[in-house]
Chain A
Amino acid sequence: MQENNATVASAASNEDIIAVQDLNKWYGEFHVLKSINLNVRKGERIVICGPSGSGKSTFIRCINHLEAHQRGNIVVDGVELNEDIKNIEAIRREVGMVFQHFNLFPHLSVLENCLLAPIWVRKTPRDQAIETAMQYLERVKIPEQAHKYPGQLSGGQQQRVAIARALCMQPKIMLFDEPTSALDPEMIKEVLDVMIELAGSGMTMLCVTHEMGFAKTVADRVIFMDGGEIVEQAAPETFFSNPQQPRTQEFLEQILQH
């Protein structure tokens, strides 16, 4: 297993916003995640890639406890993630998530989608919440759609609303679970542009994606997972030009061929 020097060094630093140690998860008999270790520094941008079924989505879903793990430790922003509901909710307040299928609330307008959590979780006054929501809707470039319903928007627009909805909670970390996989090719760019802009603002980001161009542009570190393990991790320059593991080389050959 390749252990990058930079990662080892950062493990000791107290700037780690996410610390995952010996994370293991089983679905019944099936061992999905095998002893995952990962430390993420504040403001770091990480891209996780790998073949389907490699456990990459399951892994980031463990970080905000949408999936329960059976062994190991996860500490997010100083809070230990265990079965304690208070801890789980505290972590979810600080961790935004964007899903492959957007998962916007269809019965609420775009604006109401963005207001729901700030009002009911952060207990923000409505006017203030609207102000923040409009700011983020402008940032994802669709303030004019605020009063429409998700069903009236294109896939790319919906995904941008989903990003704005997560940002309205002003999270410290953003998780992206294949945010562009359900989009038509011409809509991928508008979502990636928003994500690149967000990366430039210093947000800590974990992205599961196959957009290698995005990985090269913004990632501080690229992680390759296969069979529930982290096979290799490196800075994008090294990762793409000089992969060490045969499985990584094989994977990159597959996806970079065309």
Chain B
Amino acid sequence: MQSEELPVKPGRPKPWNDPRIRSVVFQLLAIAAVIWIGYTLFQNTVNNMASRGISTGFGFLDETAGFGIIMSLIEYNETMSYGRTFLVGLANTMLVSGLGILLATIVGFIVGVARLSSNWLVAKVSLAYIEIFRNIPLLLQIFFWYFAVLGALPGPRQAVNVGDIAFMSNRGIVLPKPIFEPGAGLMGLGLLIALIVTFILARWAKRRQAATGQIFPVLPVGLGLIIGLPVLAYFITGGPVSWDIPELGGFNFRGGITAIPELGALLLALTLYTASFIAEIVRSGIVAVSKGQTEAAAALGLPPRRILRLVVIPQALRVIIPPLTSQYLNLTKNSSLAVAIGYPDLVNVFMGTTLNQTGQAVEIVAMTMAVYLLLSLSISILMNIYNRAVALKER
């Protein structure tokens, strides 16, 4: 390669003007600063804890907690350990986040589509909903639902009675609890069979359409099966489910399942707040699909619902999913505002009571932060997998 020999070597810049040398020097300085800050923090903490006589380590997790928690999805009483309080708080956080994500998605999609409705009233009501709920601080909304709405319900003795089986009072909502008796397994089996049959049906319908062109209504038939088979099993086996109906005894209800007002208020606030953002995301996603797409599909003779499902939604999802993921993350993290009304979530139980009683600030804060990080990353990963599944290949 003689032609590449340059007649004159390009002059090297002075070392302090050479971008490569500069970047190496700055990176070394930055690393040194980070190490120094980290070391100082660590030393400081260790010194402080030593001077206050706090032992480090996770041994405290095995000690007896000695305090009660008003709601627990797993078995818990005050003789159990601090480690157990961590799990109780975690389960409660995951419950409210999971339900919140599910409900906010449903409400958000409905309102988002309604916002684009050609019906003036529907569109304006949706707009009003969105503007009210996304512009009021979430903490205020939680207080509103907790104190002004659920807190204003009458006491248990004057509870709002829904057909003698469910009651709403300021102690929460009490619902009948199903008790499965022998034979109820058949209902579960019915559900399982219905799910499997629907799955096979969907594949069969796809293959039949490919072969003959006939379109089979999978959705209504599948739904019918999934609801119908367990109901059929219920009647065949002579009703193997009995209900534990709540009764007023003394000053509160006995039996049934109680949803405490803290859960109700937090769930309502998180759902309605996040749904208002999701609605805007859904609306923008649908609007982002150009009118030409709908026109081209219509000109081919496709009916409106097929246009929506085959042309508009696949393209809208690509715009919707990334910001939807951040809303899910926001909702999960916002659930820590539970502490304001005393819903026993992770922050309230573990970083609140447990931290106060043990004083193990470093360990507890680190554990709590790690949990939120892990929850958020899991949601992100799941949503990214879904995003990749629906993403356009395009090129």
Contacts and interface: CB of A to CB of B under 8 A. Distances in A.
Interface of A: 64, 66, 85, 89, 92-93, 95-97, 99, 101, 103-107, 116-117, 119-129, 149-152, 162, 165-166, 169
B292 A103 contact: yes
Given A66-B295, A97-B299, A105-B315, 5 more contacts: A66-B298, A89-B303, A117-B302, A122-B213, A127-B210
Contacts of B300: 92, 96, 116-117, 121, 165-166, 169
B395 A121 contact: no
Contacts of A66: 295, 298-299
Interface residues of B, number: 29
B355 to A, nearest CB: 50
Contacts of A92: 298-301
Interface in B285-320: 290, 292-293, 295-303, 306, 310-311, 314-315, 318
B210 A121 contact: no
Main secondary structure of the interface of B (DSSP, over half): helix
Nearest to B391: A107
Contact of B213 (A95, A96, A99, A119): A119
A96 B392 contact: no
A258 to B, nearest CB: 31
Nearest to B206: A126
Nearest to B311: A105
A103 B392 CA distance: 16
Contacts of B311: 105, 116
B136 interface: no
B214 interface: yes
A121 B295 contact: no
A101 B290 CA distance: 11
Nearest to A94: B301
B211 interface: yes
A106 B392 contact: yes
B18 interface: no
Top 4 nearest A-B pairs by Cβ distance? A103-B296, A126-B210, A117-B300, A123-B213
A124 B210 CA distance: 8
Nearest to A117: B300
Contacts of B395: 149, 151-152
Nearest to A93: B301
Given A66-B299, A93-B301, A116 B310 contact: yes
6 contacts: A96-B299, A106-B394, A116-B297, A117-B300, A128-B213, A149-B392
Interface in B181-227: 209-215
B9 interface: no
B216 to A, nearest CB: 11
B20 interface: no
A169 B311 CA distance: 17
A148 B377 CA distance: 34
Contacts of B52: none
